[in-house]
Structure 1
C-alpha cells in the first residue's frame, strides 16, 4: 500500500469513461445480486427481435451477451460514454436520461436498463410493443449510505429510489409490474484510492465530491482502512420487470 498522497493521486487519475469497474479488482468488492443481471438480460436479448438499452454507459454489459437481436439500439447522454458505447454496440444515439426517446411508438419487444440515473416510465411504456417487457436493475434508496455519512456527516435517506415509488410510477405509466425484488449487498473498500475513484465515478454518493474539498475526510478514511483493513458499506439494488399490456 502506498502513502496517502500516492493513493489519492492514483484514484484521482483513473479515467472515468465507460462503466467498466475492472480497475477495482483487488481494491474493492461488492456482492452481486442473486438474479445475475448480465445472464438474465443475455437470455432475454437472445429471444426477441428488437431491444433498447437505456443509459447504457459504455455498453459493456449488453455487449457481453452472446446473441443480440436484429434490432439492438441503445441511448447514452454523456458524450465520453457514448463514444465508448458506439464501439461496443451496433446503434447508439445521444438522448437525455429523462427523455424524450428518439424512437417511434411500439418499437421494441424489450427495454433494459442497468442503474439508470432516472427512469422515464412514460417513454418506456410508449416505445414498448404490446406485451413488451421492461427489465431493469436499479439503485435503491440509501445505497452506500455509510460511505455518504462518513464523508458528509449523517444525511437523510430519500425514498425517491425506493421500490414503492418505482411500482407506483410503473403502474401510472400503464405498465403491469411482474417482479420487484430488492436486495442489500456488502461493499468493501481496501484502500483510499478505490474510495476516491468510486466517488468520482458514482457521483450521487457524495454530490460535488472533489479530492481537495474532502481531503480531511479522505485522510480519516485512509486511517480507518489502515486500522481495520477495509471500509464496509451496503449497496441497495432492486430488479424490476414490467410489461406493457
Structure 2
C-alpha cells in the first residue's frame, strides 16, 4: 500500500464513486453497524411482500442481498451512473429500476406496493410513499441521523450549524411527524450512534467523494491543507474516529 501523503491522496481520488459498494475500505476504515440489522429486516420483509419498491437504491447493492425477492420488485435511483449499475445488479432478482430524481413524484399508480423501503435516503417524498402504499402496507427504512459525521465536516470546513431534529429526512422525530402528516402510522422508531474509524487519508478522500453531503463540493485539491492536517493526525495516532447517527423507522398505512 502506498504510504506517502501524495500517493494516498491520488489513490483515494482515483477510485470510482458509483454505487454503495464499500468493499474497497476493508483494512482502511471500519463502521459499527446499528443493532437492528437492517439487511436482515429488509430480507425478511421482502420475502413476505407481493410487490415492493426500494427508493434511492444506489447501485442496487443492498437490495441485491435479499435472499428471496417478491414477485414484483421495483426500485428508483436519481443519479444516472448508479441507474445503469442498479439495472445490472438487480436484473437477476427481476428488479425494474426507474430513473427518478429523489424529490420527484413516483411513476407508479396508487396502492401499487405493499412494501416501500430505502436505506440512507437524501430525501423522502412522504406523501408519495403513502400514495403508492396499499392499505396495510409498510414503509421500512434506515435513515442517516442529522449529526452523522459532524466531526469530519467540522474538521474540514470549520464549525457547522447544529442538526435540526425536526428535519423530516435527517431527524427521527421529524421523520415521524412527516410520516404521520402523510397519513401513516409509525410502528417502530429506533436510534443508534456508532463509531467510524479511518486508518489512512485515502479512505477519507474516497468517503468524502462518495458521501457528498458531508463536505458539499468536496475536492481534494481545494481541501489539501485540511487533508494534510488530518493525515498527520492519523499517522500520529494510527486512527481517526467519528460518529455515525442512524435511525430505523417503520410506518404502516392503515
SS at match of 2:52: strand
**Counterparts of residues 64-75 of structure 1 (less than 5 Å):** 64-75=65-76
Partner of 1:107: 112
Partner of 2:149: 144
Q: How far is the alpha carbon of 1:21 from its aligned partner?
A: 0.5
- TM (norm. structure 2) is 0.95
Partner of 1:26: 27
**Counterparts of residues 23-62 of structure 1 (less than 5 Å):** 23-62=24-63
Partner of 2:230: 221
**2:140 aligns with one of 92, 112, 135:** 135
Structure 2 distance, partners of 1:102, 1:194, is 37
Structure 2 distance, partners of 1:181, 1:217, is 35
* Stretches of structure 2 lacking an aligned partner (at least 5 in a row): none
SS at match of 1:60: coil
CA RMSD between the two structures: 0.7
**1:153 aligns with one of 139, 151, 158:** 158
* Stretches of structure 1 lacking an aligned partner (at least 5 in a row): none
Residue 193 of structure 2 is aligned to residue 184 of structure 1:
yes
Q: How far is the alpha carbon of 1:79 from its aligned partner?
A: 0.6
Residue 129 of structure 2 is aligned to residue 124 of structure 1:
yes
Q: How far is the alpha carbon of 1:158 from its aligned partner?
A: 2.3
Contact 1:29 1:189 in 2 (8 A): yes
Deviations 1:9-62 (A, max 9, x none): 000000011111101000000000101111110011001110000000011111
SS at match of 2:245: strand
Structure 1 distance, partners of 2:231, 2:152, is 13
Partner of 1:92: 97
Structure 2 distance, partners of 1:139, 1:157, is 15
Deviations 1:115-157 (A, max 9, x none): 0010110000000000000000000011011111111111112
SS at match of 1:46: helix
Contact 1:105 1:128 in 2 (8 A): yes
Q: How far is the alpha carbon of 1:88 from its aligned partner?
A: 1.6
Residue 237 of structure 2 is aligned to residue 237 of structure 1:
no
Structure 2 distance, partners of 1:163, 1:79, is 29
Contact 1:99 1:123 in 2 (8 A): no
Q: How far is the alpha carbon of 1:2 from its aligned partner?
A: 1.0
